[in-house]
Amino acid sequence: MYKINDNYQKLPGSYLFSTIGKKVNAYSEANPDKQIIRLGIGDVTQPIAPAIIEAMHKAVDEMGKAETFHGYAPDLGYEFLRSAIVKNDYQARGCDIAMDEIFVSDGAKSDSGNIQEIFAQDNRIAVCDPVYPVYVDSNVMAGRTGTYNPKTEMWSDVIYMPCTMENGFVPEFPKETPDIIYLCLPNNPTGTTITKSQLQTWVDYANKVGAVIIYDAAYEAYISEDDVAHSIYECEGAKTCAIELKSFSKNAGFTGVRLGYTVVPKELKCGDVSLNAMWARRHGTKFNGAPYIVQRAGEAVYSEAGKAQLKEQVAYYMKNAKAIKEGLKEAGYTVFGGVNAPYIWLKTPEKMTSWEFFDYLLENANVVGTPGSGFGPSGEGYFRLTAFGSYENTLAALERIKKL
């Protein structure tokens, strides 16, 4: 008789955004006349930029001719894309990252869930609280998190680093020593970030205690302040302690196209064992590459026209972020984020719980957001709105919220 992976049975509820989706669909079915504005999941709404569409069309045509057809992609990704990444995302920022340290994938969500596979089961993970749920859930599935306490909503073997209004949403070094530290900066969900010198202290700490940092830089394109690092490799010593995850979803609108990459430096070693070699082995065995058409689309992200068009797209979303932040402040809310990230993090009014405010907003303003407690216990009493809606919908949502 076969046995299942019991760890899955430990997972409480369903994936946060699936739960929200189900709730919203139920409301919508019961109230078909209501125009719902969705500012919940961080999914983009602007179409793919013209320079990228052009590159995709060209690649589609190539696939239709025997002489330019492409089958399986190379293990690590096509050189044309990896060299564009190295040049634009690293060399341009003074980071010495080589092509064979870049692993092209179908997105940062998969990579952030899969990366834990190369680590032993008895590693202690440390996460910010609140946190992108994939980091914790994927470690639960791997049996690395101990037991769940429904009262505290915490796992016995996870080290939580609370990020709240009181500490400016900046994680502090934990009392217990972690083996794997997840950092997402600029942060999802709080929309806040830390300075490059603060990040340097994390790199120094990880090197000192022998921990590895899994650095999720999915929102890097939204950084507007000069003292914020665009890559962890801008910090000295990061190549011996950090893996960086990057996404094309938020900077280029690829949530439905799917493309990302992971950087595993060759200097990152556990004793004599190279993590780069381990990830190469895993990638080669379990992944057959992002599609050629999509990798050509990724290359176009770095073309002069692509860069200019995406700069406008990011500015469009950040105009939304500014409107949400200022509009909510005017309406008397306490708000954070929205300066270096497309997320606004607000205190729920009148001591409502995050889910109470979710229901209140859905029912009275027909606006969907994300309850802070869905990201972890320290998210209780907070709520996330995304700037990824259309400008018109963003303004309409604000008008409705102001009238409450």
| Residue ranges that bind ligand MLT, judged by CB under 6 A | 41-43, 109, 132, 188
Closest distance to ligand MLT from the beta carbon of 93 (Å): 23
Closest distance to ligand MLT from the beta carbon of 188 (Å): 5
Q: Which two tokens stand for residue 80?
A: 């044309």
- Beta strand 273-274 with 269-270 is antiparallel
Between 191 and 289, name the residue whose CB sits nearer to ligand MLT: 191
Between 82 and 109, name the residue whose CB sits nearer to ligand MLT: 109
Between 110 and 195, name the residue whose CB sits nearer to ligand MLT: 110
Between 159 and 218, name the residue whose CB sits nearer to ligand MLT: 218
Residue partners of 97: CB distance under 8 A and separation at least 6: 86, 89, 90, 91, 233, 263, 265
Closest distance to ligand MLT from the beta carbon of 319 (Å): 19
Closest distance to ligand MLT from the beta carbon of 332 (Å): 26
Between 37 and 241, name the residue whose CB sits nearer to ligand MLT: 37
Q: Residue 287 carries which DSSP code?
A: -
Between 41 and 263, name the residue whose CB sits nearer to ligand MLT: 41
Closest distance to ligand MLT from the beta carbon of 154 (Å): 20
Closest distance to ligand MLT from the beta carbon of 193 (Å): 15
Exposure on the CB side of residue 230, measured as CA atoms within 13 A = 16
Q: Please, what is the angle between helix 16-30 and helix 354-365, to 10°? A: 30
Between 291 and 379, name the residue whose CB sits nearer to ligand MLT: 379
Give CA–CA dist 154/13, Å, rounded.
14
Closest distance to ligand MLT from the beta carbon of 206 (Å): 24
Q: Which two tokens stand for residue 174?
A: 């934990």
- Secondary-structure breakdown of the chain: helix, strand, coil percentages, each rounded to the nearest 5: 45, 15, 40
Identity of residue 350:
E
Closest distance to ligand MLT from the beta carbon of 388 (Å): 8
Q: Which two tokens stand for residue 285?
A: 């065995």
Q: Which residue is nearest to ligand MLT (CB)?
A: 42
Q: Please, what is the angle between helix 304-330 and helix 50-63, to 10°? A: 130
8 A C-beta contact, residue 65 and residue 82: no
What is the secondary structure of 288-349 as a DSSP string? --S-HHHHHHHHHHTSHHHHHHHHHHHHHHHHHHHHHHHHHHHTT--EEE-SSSSEEEEEPG
Closest distance to ligand MLT from the beta carbon of 328 (Å): 18
Best CA proximity match to 60, nearest among 309, 295, 277, 324: 295
Best CA proximity match to 320, nearest among 130, 191, 231: 191
Between 132 and 383, name the residue whose CB sits nearer to ligand MLT: 132
CA gyration radius for the chain? 21
Between 132 and 317, name the residue whose CB sits nearer to ligand MLT: 132
